[in-house]
Structure 1
Amino acid sequence: MGERAPGYELPLLLFAAFRDAIDRAHADLAEHGHPDVRPMHGFVFQAIGTHGTTAVELAARLGVTKQAAGKTITALERQGYLERAADPRDARAKKVRLTARGIEVLELSERAFDAVQAQWAQAVGEQRLADLREDLRTLAPGELFRLDAPGWFGTGR
């Protein structure tokens, strides 16, 4: 087998692969009319989901302050990706929802990540990629969608 790699190398390789996938997906989004979408926005769109959410719930899901969530909502609203509407369950609350433009980004992102995965399969082989996915499922603790990454990156934990 060769020399044992230093412990810090694997997390850096995982991050580099993650970064490459994200960068490729965002290049594709830019080519399809969404040059203003940033990696953090994907977490926001996922946290909002197809049914919408409130700013308070969004902040909690992302692990950020209510003020940070509010600023992000306002910016994405200005860009046409989100809209605020009355919450049918609570007249005092506003619900944040994806617009058709926001849903389009999710759909384009899905196709872009499928293309990245196909390129990876071509590079290492279908079976090795499938094995890697299964191994990562074993190694990754907890739920797959940890949407609190923006807060985690920002807190220095």
Structure 2
Amino acid sequence: MSIMVDAAPGYELPLRFLAAFRAAVDAVHDDLARAGHPHLRPMHGFVFQAIGTRGTTAVELGARLGVTKQAAGKTIAALEQQGYVERAPDPADARRKAVRLTAAGLDVLARSAAVFERVRAEWAHTIGPDRLTALEADLAALTPGDLLPLDTPTWFGPGA
């Protein structure tokens, strides 16, 4: 006699992935808010990652994020006003402006990384380190090679 196990409907799996992603990102933003950055949103994390520690231009930023140069410029202007990025002449081409993270922007990246490490440790405590390592390996096998598709927010659609 075989025992039937009721499996969750197929649509639940991506929703669970999204809920886990949301829980991790919400933990980061709770920490950032307590550290004096309450106005930052998840999209800003993608922007900071796209700028990176070496900087970029508005055109490159737009391409990485999957938005127009104008949308990237608007985001840059807002983050510049808040003190997270700065514009300077591009050392490779004086006609272009490079966008770099300021000390505050780099601090946000470092704080975010630390919180993601804490969340990972909490998850390892909850399900066990071996199961978490196996889950990470399974997800790596199921997903494309690009670990961080920076255009993910725009993938949800306009205004996301």
TM-score range (shorter-chain normalised) is: over 0.9
String of CA shifts for 1:102-135, please: whole Å, max 9, x gaps: 0000000000001111111111111111110000
Cα distance, 1:155 vs. partner?
5.1
Asked if 2 retains the 8 angstrom alpha-carbon contact of 1:64 and 1:150, the reply is no
Higher relative CO (Cα under 8 Å, sequence separation at least 6) belongs to: 1
Cα distance, 1:154 vs. partner?
2.2
**Counterpart secondary structure, 1:113:** helix
> Which one-letter code corresponds to 1:91 in the other structure?
A
Cα distance, 1:142 vs. partner?
2.6
Calculate the aligned-residue CA RMSD, in Å. 1.3
Alignment of structure 1 residues 7-86 onto 2, 5 Å: 7-86=10-89
**Counterpart secondary structure, 1:3:** coil
- Relative to the length of structure 2, the TM-score reads 0.94
For 2:19 and 2:89, locate their aligned partners in 1 and report how far apart those are by CA, in whole Å: 41
String of CA shifts for 1:6-61, please: whole Å, max 9, x gaps: 11000000000000000011101111121111100010001001110000000000
For 1:24 and 1:104, locate their aligned partners in 2 and report how far apart those are by CA, in whole Å: 16
2:93 aligned residue (90, 94, 99)? 90
> Which one-letter code corresponds to 1:39 in the other structure?
P
- Relative to the length of structure 1, the TM-score reads 0.95
For 2:104 and 2:80, locate their aligned partners in 1 and report how far apart those are by CA, in whole Å: 11
Name the structure 1 match of 2:132: 129
Task: Give the count of matched residue pairs.
Answer: 156
2:114 aligned residue (99, 111, 116)? 111
* Greater than 6 Å deviation, 4+ residue runs: none
Unaligned runs of 5+ in 1: none
For 2:94 and 2:157, locate their aligned partners in 1 and report how far apart those are by CA, in whole Å: 33
Unaligned runs of 5+ in 2: none
